[in-house]
Amino acid sequence: MEKRPIINTASRLGAVKEYYFSVKLREIAQMNASGKKVINLGIGSPDLSPPPEVVETLVKESTRPDVHGYQSYVGIPELRSAFSNWYATYFGVALNPDKEILPLIGSKEGIMHISMTFLEAGDEVLIPNPGYPAYSAVANLTGARIREYRLSEELNWLPDLELLGKEDLSRVKIMWVNYPHMPTGAQANEDFFRELIAFAKENKLLICNDNPYSFILNDKPTSILAVEGAKEVALELNSLSKAHNMAGWRIGMLAGAEGYIQSVLRFKSNMDSGMFRPAQLAAAKALSLDKSWYEGQNGIYRKRQQKAFELLDILECQYTTDQTGLFVWAKTPSGVKDGFELSDKVLYSSNVFLTPGGIFGSAGNSFIRISLCSDTEVFDEAINRIKNN
pLDDT at 34: 93
Show me where the domains of the chain are located. 11-49+292-387, 65-287
Residue 1 confidence (pLDDT) above 60: no
pLDDT for 298-345, tens place per residue? 999 999 999 999 999 999 999 999 999 999 999 999 999 999 999 999
Per CATH, the number for 11-49+292-387 is: 3.90.1150.10
Torsion of CA 214, 211, 168, 130, to 10 degrees: 70
Confidence of residue 15 (pLDDT cuts 50, 70, 90): low
Task: Spell out a b/e string for 311-336, using b for 16 or more CB atoms within 10 Å of the CB, else e.
Answer: bbeebebebeeebbbbbbbbbbeeeb
Gap between the Cα atoms of 240 and 384, Å rounded: 34
**Higher pLDDT, residue 309 or 389:** 309
What is the arithmetic mean of pLDDT over 162-167?
96
Residue 22 confidence (pLDDT) above 90: no
pTM of the model as a whole: 0.93
pLDDT at 14: 64
Q: Do domains 11-49+292-387 and 65-287 have the same CATH topology?
A: no
Residue 17 confidence (pLDDT) above 80: no
Gap between the Cα atoms of 16 and 11, Å rounded: 10
pLDDT for 119-156, tens place per residue? 999 999 999 999 999 999 999 999 999 999 999 999 99
CATH 3.40.640.10 holds for 65-287: yes
Query: At a CB cut-off of 8 Å and minimum separation 6, what does 365 contact?
Result: 338, 339, 340, 357, 358
Nearest to 368 by CA among 302, 297, 319: 319
On the CB side of 299, CA atoms within 13 Å amount to: 6
Nearest to 49 by CA among 249, 221, 211: 249
Residue 7 confidence (pLDDT) above 90: no
